[in-house]
Structure 1
C-alpha cells in the first residue's frame, strides 16, 4: 500500500477544515428558539417574551370595534315625498275657462315637465312666480301653487309629481354587485335596503365591512352587525357615500409550517390554532411544537396591563410563546387571538440542525474518501 506524500496529507487536512466549517454554518429557515429568547429584555434584547396563559389571552384579546356614531344613528328616515334641491317635479294645471293662462284652446290642462329645483330650493312657474319647493311634499306644493294661480285664473286644479333627482341620491361603491348612484326612494331609505338595491355584496358576509361617509363624518360597521343589531341600519341622506370592502387585516406565517405566506383574515376573529391550520399546520418533519411564537407590537395600555406596570410609553415589542406539547397547550393556542400584522413563527426542532450537520459531514467525508483514493492512486 503506497504511503501518502506530505502534499497529499496537506490536501486531506484542508478538506477536513472545510468539513468543520460547513458543519458550523448550516443554513436555517430562521432563528432558533434560543436565539429568540436572547432577544428578551432580560438578556440582551428589547422584546418582552411572555408565555401564553388564560390571563394573557384575555388581556390581549381585541377585535376591531366597528360601529356607527350617534350622529349617523340618530338621523330619522327621510320623508319619501319630500322635495329637495336637485329634484325634478312635473306640474299639471287644469283651468275652468275656455282660454286659460297656461292651457291651450283645445285642452283645459297644461303640463309643465321637468322643472328642476334649483340650489336654493326654488322652481319658477309662469303666473305664479318663483316658488319655494324644497322641504315641501308634493301635496303641500300643490296647495301653494293653487293659491298663487287662483289669483290669475278661477279655481285652478293642480297636480304635482316628484321625480327623484340628484338631491336625494347616494353612491354605492366597492364589493357590491352593481356600483352606481342610486336615488333615495321609499323602498331604499335605509342602508340595508340600498345595499340590496345595488345587488347585494359580493364578498363573504363574515368579512364584509360597510363604510358610510356623510360630509366629514366617516364610520364603518361589520355587515353582519347590520342584521344582528337593527339600530345600526341607519337612515340615509342625500350625498351619502357607501363603500363595501373585505376585511383588510392579515398576519404572516413563517418557519416550519406547511406554507410560508401572508394570510388575510377569513373571519372576524382568528385564534392561534386557526392561524396554524390556515397554512397547513406544523411541518411534521421540521417543526418544534414547543417553539411557536407570535411577534407583535402592543400599545402601551395592553403592555402595562400584561406586565403589571404603568411606566411604559409607546408601542412595545412582545413575543408570545405557545407550547403545544404542554398539558393545556392546545387550549391556550385555541383561546389566543391573532391580530392584524402579527407574525406567527414556528422554530425548527434541534434535531434538524444535527441532521443537517451529519448530512454535511457525511457528504464531505465521502468527498474526502474519494479524494484520498485519487491521491493513493497517484
Structure 2
C-alpha cells in the first residue's frame, strides 16, 4: 500500500513536459535538466496539509498518496503545460519522525533518533516557544488523544514519555487559571503567572482572607485528582467517582492551626482549582437578619 503524505513531510516534485518550449522551459526557481524537465525546490507540507506548486496553485497534500497528488497537479497544469507528467518523492518519511505543530519555532516534521526520543527532547528540537505556565501539550497517536499541561510533564518524569513514529504533537497556549471565592478580600478568577505557585501564594493574590468575614477553619480546595492519588486519600471500600477530568476531591484546611501554613506552602495551585473560604456563623446570621429586615421593610 502506498504511503500517504502527512503534515511536515518534505516532497521532491519533478515536472516533465513532452516537448521543448512549454510552460517550464523558460524556467522557475529550480534545478533544470535538459529542455523538458524541472525539479522544484523541496516543498514542506504546512500545518494545513497544503503545498504550493508554481502555475498550479495550492493543493491538499496530507491524506493523499504521492501518485494521487501527482495526478491532481497534472490535471491542474494540463491546459498550460505540454502534456505534463509529475513525479513526487518523499524526502522525509514519517515512519522515522513525528510532527510538531503550534507554539514552536520550527513546525513540521522532527526526525526521531534510533535510540528513541522523549517528549521534552522532541519539543526542544522543534524550538518550544510557549510559556511554561500556559503551554498545554496534546499528543495524537492513532485513535488516542491525550492533553497534559507542560508543567506536569516537566515536574513528573513519568509523564515525559517516548514519542512514537507518526505521532502528532500540538503545543497549545492556554492560560492556567484558578478561582478564589467566598470570604477573600478580592474574589475572582486569577491567572497562574509562574510555575510552582503555592496555595498560600494563590490566597495572597486574592488579597488573603477577609478578617471580618472569614472562618479560618473553613478554607476549602476543590480540584480533580487522578484516580491513583484519589485512591490514597479515601478508604479502600469507598467507591471513586471518576469523571473525564479525574476524581473530584475537596480538601479542608484549618488555618487556625499553625501547621496548616506548611501544607499551604508545599501544595501548588493547578489549573481550574477552586479555593473557597467559608464565612463565620456570625456573619451568616447577620446577613440572614439583614435579609429578614429588608423583607419586613417591603411588607414580605
Normalised to the residue count of structure 1, the TM-score between the two structures is 0.41
The structure with the greater share of residues assigned to helix is: 1
Which structure is richer in relative contact order (CA contacts within 8 A, separation 6 or more)?
1
Larger Rg belongs to: 1
Normalised to the residue count of structure 2, the TM-score between the two structures is 0.49
The structure with the greater share of residues assigned to strand is: 2
